[in-house]
Amino acid sequence: MSRLPLEFLHFRDSTCRKCLIFEPRCVSVVMMKQKEILRRRDRLARELPSAAEIVRGSLLERTIRHRQGCQKCARGEGHPVSVLTVGYAGGKTKQISLHAEQREQVEGWLKNYQELKARLEEICELNQKLLRPEE
């Protein structure tokens, strides 16, 4: 009997969907899936952005207008300002006015937060698959 490559796996009988012919170069589908899941999970964990440089919220642009004494506001231009808005339970929000030089930093932190959140969700999904490898 010739040896089968890893890509060519077949079932020992039609009643068992997990039992495969075991030759030195053959492994079960479940074991292959688990190893691939572990590799993907480990890769995602290595690529996580720094948890120290994250912030949750939304970056908004607002215009502040003074009631009197400002020529710029009198012309209707106002003063543009960036604001970080963070929502909390119960419908409460917190707004933090940012200096112009902070905008780029906050954009990076928001991006890191979104990436971290997305990757953690992927890792959770992979861990769920590890708990039920037969599915």
Q: Which two tokens stand for residue 91?
A: 């419908």
Distance CA 98, CA 84 (A): 7
Distance CA 19, CA 135 (A): 15
pLDDT in tens, the chain (135 residues): 444 444 444 444 444 444 444 444 444 556 668 888 899 999 999 988 888 999 999 999 999 898 888 898 888 889 999 999 999 999 999 999 999 999 999 999 999 999 999 999 999 999 998 887 665
User: Quick one: pLDDT at residue 96?
Assistant: 95
Instruction: Measure Cα distances from 26 to 5, 32, 51, 68, 86 in Å.
Output: 7, 10, 41, 81, 53
Would you say the pTM of this structure is higher than 0.85? no
Q: What residue spans define the domains of the chain?
A: 1-47, 58-125
User: Quick one: pLDDT at residue 30?
Assistant: 63
Distance CA 89, CA 19 (A): 50
Residue tagged 């604001």 (tokens): 83
User: Quick one: pLDDT at residue 10?
Assistant: 42
